[in-house]
Amino acid sequence: MQSASKFSILIALEIPAIFFSIIIFAYFAVNRTARSKFQNHGWLVLVTISFIQVVIDLPMPMSYYYAGRVIPASDLYCVWWTWSEFSLNTIGIFLMAWISIERYIFIFYSHTIFQGRFKKWMYHFIPIAICLCWTPFFYCLVVIISPYCSQTWSFDLIICGVPCYYIKKSVGQFNFLFNVAFPVSVISLVNILLFIRVNYEKISRHRRINWRDHRKMILQLWIISSIYLICWLALMSTKFVQITVMPTFMVDYLDIILFNVYLVPLFLPMVCLSTLPKLVRKLTRFIHERNRNKVGVTILIGVHQRIGGER
């Protein structure tokens, strides 16, 4: 895929992503009931992270695809780009992994796990805080402080080339296994486990779960997590084979696989919006009323002009 095509795709999706993110923020700002529900906190944080990616991080690869080189060509800019992109990407997949676990808990164990202030902090707020803090700290250590090596950046490559800590085999493998493979695997396994558990409970005679109440949460999880799995599973599988068996595996397609990761924060707001039926109905009603008003104004103007012409 040519750089011009990548730039066109990103800029075409960026504006709708910003627009839908603002709509979601406005919805939660005015809707106290939705904002106070614990099961919505993770989604709101995730959309916020994707919004930061869209407005702060994505302009940097867009600039590269447009110009064909890194602008400005400075080491400080490359450090900022690498740190922010790696941190935001991995925050997203860690949050998605925890949301998957938490959604499973909400469905099957909410009556015991989230009772009491201590348990709410322990099993809700603290895990989200860890997801937000761990990878920025890790990449601050290996990219900004960089005690393992001396970094030389390439201004002709996307994200200024590969960070030098990749040369330190143990650090590079830990980064891949813990910061990428682990959360992506958790997302996959929890969704598979949820699918099996849901079907088992449905056919079981001892139905302890009100599926009508939890159907929305299950569908939300499956729909939103599918974005991460589609874009990240390919990268995880390719990198795993390259590290363990064949270093040249899918090397000709690695550029496209890496580019697909940029699509996650762009599609996330649209998909999240589709899982909020009340908000979708309000938007649809607003658009219909606005179109009806436009038609009414046009008719009135036409009638007024006709009357004026007859006079």
Q: What is the pLDDT of residue 290?
A: 67
* Integer CA distances (angstroms), 102 to 95, 213, 240, 272, 286, in order: 10, 16, 27, 17, 34
User: Cis ω on the peptide bond leading into residue 72 (within 30° of 0)?
Assistant: yes
Confidence of residue 303 (pLDDT cuts 50, 70, 90): very low
Class level of CATH domain 1-275? mainly alpha
| Beta strands per DSSP E along 191-249 | none
Q: Does the pLDDT at position 301 exceed 70?
A: no
- Residues of the chain with pLDDT > 90, as a percent, come to 50
Note the pLDDT tens digit of each residue in 24-48: 999 888 888 888 888 888 899 999 9
- Selected residue with higher pLDDT from 176 and 200: 176
**144-197: pLDDT as tens digits:** 998 878 888 999 999 999 898 888 878 989 999 999 999 999 999 999 998 888
Place of tokens 């707020």: 125
237 Cβ partners below 8 Å, 6+ apart? Answer: none
User: CA-to-CA distance for 132 and 49, rounded, in angstroms?
Assistant: 9
Q: Return the DSSP state at 161.
A: S
Confidence of residue 74 (pLDDT cuts 50, 70, 90): very high
Of 105-109, 214-218, 297-301, highest mean pLDDT: 105-109
Of 180 and 117, more confident = 180
Identify the band that residue 7 occupies on the pLDDT scale cut at 50, 70 and 90. Answer: very high
Taking the domains of the chain in order of start, what are their residue ranges? 1-275, 277-310
| pLDDT on residue 187 | 95
Reply yes or no on whether the pLDDT at 217 is more than 50.
yes
Residue 206 has pLDDT above 70, yes or no: no
When the pLDDT of each residue in the chain is averaged and rounded to a whole number, the result is 86
The model's pLDDT over 279-299, given as tens digits with 9 standing for 90+, comes to 777 777 777 676 665 554 555
- Summarize the confidence of residues 63-67 as an average pLDDT: 94
Number of residues that this document lists for the chain: 311
In sequence order, which residues have a C-beta less than 8 Å from that of residue 80 and are 6 or more positions away?
Answer: none
